Amino acid sequence: MKQIIACVKLVPAAAEVALDGQFRLKRDSTSLQLNIADLSAVEAALGLKEADTQVTVLSMGPAKGEALLQELFALGVDRVVLLSDRALAGADSLATARALAAGVRCLGEFSCILCGRRALDAETGQIPGQLAAALDIPAVTNGQQLEKADNGLSCRRLLETAVETLTVELPCVVSLCEYSYTLRLPSILGRRRAKDKQVEILTAADIGLVAEQCGLQGSKTKVVHVDTKAPGLRKCSYCNPEALCGIIKGVQ
């Protein structure tokens, strides 16, 4: 495999989030962490790496994410590209996938793109499919246990009531479940090599997009209202096992 691309999103680390007047995340005010499912994508990419494989991490977000992304070099990632531009901000999943696809096209030939199956903040899980459609290649979502196979990759897909073993042709997109891989720790050699490497930052213009295609402008969904009150609060009545029995029997 020549190049494996892992898509990584930086998400707010705090459980509480701040919104601006447009109901957008105030990304400047919160500290960031790597999205959990994306850790699986990075580890899976490093695991598939052969002598002549380049592992590239592609991310989109504010420039302040650079420091966190820089740490990935020490794990053995060869190249990190961050799409960062005011024009890209506020994108819904459609505009995000469009930007990522444009970014991918700037990275050269690739064998597969690995993603986390969903992000902890927006939780849409739509990017892997939309990215695959933008590039007109197949995708497998909810994946685990990615391995090389004769004509491509094999992996498991977690469905509602079954686990499938699939083979998928290259090039393709595979999205991976949280915790399906444990991200390795940096080695001393890795840390040393990382010193010479730098995150490349690309703007919308660099990847050939105009303002109308990106960010809020390029989005087809619009948040019109946000309720911050946590839903799901209930009024608890305390009871004894006999009463619980009745409730269980009522549902059976």
Partner 1 sequence: MQELLLIQGTRPDMGLQRKAAQLAETGKLQLRILSVAKAEAATADDSAIAKGLVAETNNARVILAPATVRLRCIMPMLAYRLQAGLTADCTGLEITETGQLLQTRPAFGNSLMATIETLSAVQMATVRPGTFPADPNGEYPQTEEWEACFSDAVKCIEQQRQTGDQGITQAKIIVSGGAGIGSKEGFDKLKAFAHKIGAALGASRNAVDLGYAPYSAQVGITGATVSPRLYIAVGISGAVQHLAGMSGAETVIAINQDPKAPIFQYADYGIVGDWETIINQLEELL
Ligand X SMILES: Cc1cc2nc3c(=O)[nH]c(=O)nc-3n(C[C@H](O)[C@H](O)[C@H](O)COP(=O)(O)OP(=O)(O)OC[C@H]3O[C@@H](n4cnc5c(N)ncnc54)[C@H](O)[C@@H]3O)c2cc1C
Q: Which stretches of the chain bind ligand X, using CB under 6 A?
A: 36, 120
The answer to the question of residue 216 lying near partner 1 (CB under 8 A) is no
Work out which of 132, 176, 194, 207 binds partner 1, going by CB under 8 A. Answer: 132
28 touches partner 1 (CB under 8 A)? no
Complex with partner 1: residue 201 or 216, whichever CB lies closer: 216
3-class DSSP state for residue 62?
Answer: coil
Interacting partner of 196 out of ligand X, partner 1, none (Cβ under 5 to 8 A depending on kind)? none
Q: Are 58 and 77 in contact (CB under 8 A)?
A: no
Q: Under rule CB under 8 A, which residues in 49-78 are in contact with partner 1?
A: none
Cβ-contact 2, 56 below 8 angstroms: no
Q: Is 129 exposed, middle or buried (0-12, 13-18, 19+ CB in 10 A)?
A: middle
State yes or no: residue 93 binds partner 1 (CB under 8 A). yes
Question: Two tokens at 81?
Answer: 């590209």
Amino acid at 54: Q
Q: Cα 76 from chain centroid?
A: 19
Contact by Cβ (8 Å): 103, 115:
no
* Separation of CA 1 from chain center: 21
Is residue 18 at the binding interface for partner 1, with CB under 8 A as the rule?
A: no
Residue at token pair 């993603």:
115
Counting residues that bind partner 1 (by CB under 8 A) gives: 82
Closest to ligand X by CB, 61 or 103: 61
The answer to whether 166 and 155 are in contact (CB under 8 A) is: yes
Min. distance of Cβ 250 from partner 1 in angstroms? 9
Q: Does 122 bind partner 1 (CB under 8 A)?
A: yes
Q: Is 22 an interacting residue with respect to partner 1 (CB under 8 A)?
A: no
Q: Tell which residue, 100, 68, 93, 104, has the closest CA to residue 183.
A: 68
Those residues whose C-beta lies under 8 Å from the C-beta of residue 249, and which sit 6 or more positions away, are none
Under the binding rule (CB under 8 A), the answer on residue 121 touching partner 1 is: yes
Q: Which is nearer to partner 1, 113 or 199 (CB)?
A: 113
Q: Which is nearer to ligand X, 120 or 183 (CB)?
A: 120
State the minimum distance, in angstroms, from the CB of residue 188 to partner 1. 29
Nearer to partner 1, 32 or 80 (CB): 32
Interface with partner 1, residue 21, by CB under 8 A: no
Q: Which is nearer to partner 1, 30 or 70 (CB)?
A: 30
- To which residue do tokens 């991200």 refer? 183
